[in-house]
Amino acid sequence: MATQQTLVSPQEYLELEHKASFKSEYRNGLIVPMPGASPEHVYIQSDLHIEIGICLKGQSCKVYGSDLKVRTKTRYSYPDLTIACEKPAYDYDPNGNAVLLNPTLIVEVLSPSTEGYDRGDKFAAYRELKSFGEYLLISQTQPLVDHYIKQTDNSWKFLTYKGLDANVKLETVSCTLALREIYKQVNFENGQDQERSNV
């Protein structure tokens, strides 16, 4: 793979990534290897996928895990979870792998090495997509979810849900997520999970 400092074209990125033994994202000409995930990250991601899958049963929306790329104008990303409610629109790389072009909702489980990017440039890139209307950022160190919802004037409403008793009501899909279910495999230290659930 090219190093992070080497500028490459999108086509070169797709060809290099197909041959690599690990996933990387593409950011404005840079190839950025994705860091490994903690057990907590994996627990949250897998339980969230299950909960959203149950919520969406019978709906036309499609839910995708972290192996499907999403393309914006200048980036290719691997969200932790993606939902598409319009008819999914795909592009295909030279090797026939699908890339989603019209996500409705995107979820990122925050990690120390990626949190700033997920909140900043990555969110800005996702907002370039007309279909994109909802964004969840999920902490893996405490029961905490930041929720962004696109408004009719293209501004974004921001909500925070804190504690295991909180529920997140999604607006682009008919679904309510219980933080207790999202975090059911995560053990917070010194009983802090219960303390935060009362905040």
Side-chain half-sphere exposure of 193, counting CA atoms within 13 A: 17
**DSSP secondary structure code for residue 88 in this structure:** P
- Predicted confidence (pLDDT) per residue in 112-153, tens digit: 888 999 999 999 999 999 999 999 999 999 999 999 999 999
Rounded to whole angstroms, the Cα distance separating 114 from 111 reads 5
pLDDT of 197 over the 80 cut: no
- Predicted confidence (pLDDT) per residue in 28-55, tens digit: 999 998 888 899 999 999 999 999 999 9
Cβ atoms within 10 A of the Cβ of 28, count?
10
Q: What is the pTM of this model?
A: 0.89
> 105-109 and 134-138 as β-strands: parallel, antiparallel, unpaired?
parallel
Rounded to whole angstroms, the Cα distance separating 154 from 10 reads 28
All structural domains of the chain: 1-34 (no CATH), 37-197 (3.90.1570.10)
> 105-109 and 81-84 as β-strands: parallel, antiparallel, unpaired?
antiparallel
